Amino acid sequence: MVYKCFFKRLIDVLLSFLGIVVLGIPMLVVALVIRHEDPGPALFRQKRVGKNKKYFMLLKFRSMKMSTPHDVPTHQLENPEQYLLRCGKILRKLSIDELPQLFNILKGDMSIIGPRPALWNQDDLIAERDRYHANDVKPGLTGWAQINGRDELEIPVKARLDGEYVEKLSFWFDCRCFFGTIGKVLKGDGVVEGGTGTKDTSCDEKEIDL
């Protein structure tokens, strides 16, 4: 498929570069706000699973306090909201914390559209995605599962939707995911703090600061 092999990557490069240029100053402002509220690095890295299950370091804005216990998944924290920065709630609700991943896309670790990259230790999700060949494509900034439930989805459902994306991968389907994401983000749909569905017990791991 010409789109999958060439044009998808071309669009990723163009859109991520344009996004970095246009959003460069706003992202700098976000970084300053984070550092002002809670001194420390504004960015953190997470070990994630990329195409063909190769690891890469995903970038995000820090939305939790520096005092948050290290190496503890969010869902295992007692009252995880107490560790959230005031600005962090807004960053997560509007997915602003994901914007640094534009650099991951430009580098080639990710795509604009694709399955959200799993944490390196989310063995259950990775195994489920293997059933649907969802680990065979680049992970994305957003995807089909994100506009069909996001954090509220249980792992089997999320993996099935990721597999459905792989089957239907095309320019028009990517457009559907892209514009669907805009509507979901504006509404803040599907954001569940400290968990991802009733059976997904592998939410965001403790942030590794830059």
Of 138, 168, 97, 100, the residue nearest 9 (C-alpha): 138
Contact by Cβ (8 Å): 128, 196: no
pTM above 0.75, yes or no: yes
**Beta strands 208-209; 43-49: pairing state:** antiparallel
Which contiguous run of DSSP H or E holds residue 27? helix 8-37
pLDDT at 94: 87
For residues 74 and 89, what is the distance between their CA atoms, to the nearest angstrom? Answer: 14
pLDDT at 188: 63
For residues 145 and 185, what is the distance between their CA atoms, to the nearest angstrom? Answer: 13
In the 3-class helix/strand/coil scheme, how is 124-181 assigned residue by residue? HHHHHHHHCCHHHCCCEEECCCCCCCHHHCCHHHHHHHHHHHHHHCCHHHHHHHHHHH
pLDDT at 189: 61
For residues 203 and 130, what is the distance between their CA atoms, to the nearest angstrom? Answer: 19
Number of residues written out for the chain: 210
Tens-digit pLDDT string for the chain (210 aa): 789 889 999 999 999 999 999 999 999 999 999 999 999 999 989 899 999 999 999 999 999 889 887 656 566 677 778 888 999 989 988 889 999 999 999 999 999 999 999 988 889 999 999 999 999 999 999 999 989 886 678 899 999 999 999 999 999 999 999 999 988 877 766 444 444 454 333 345 444 444
Strands (E) in the chain, as ranges, are 43-49, 55-61, 111-113, 140-142, 208-209
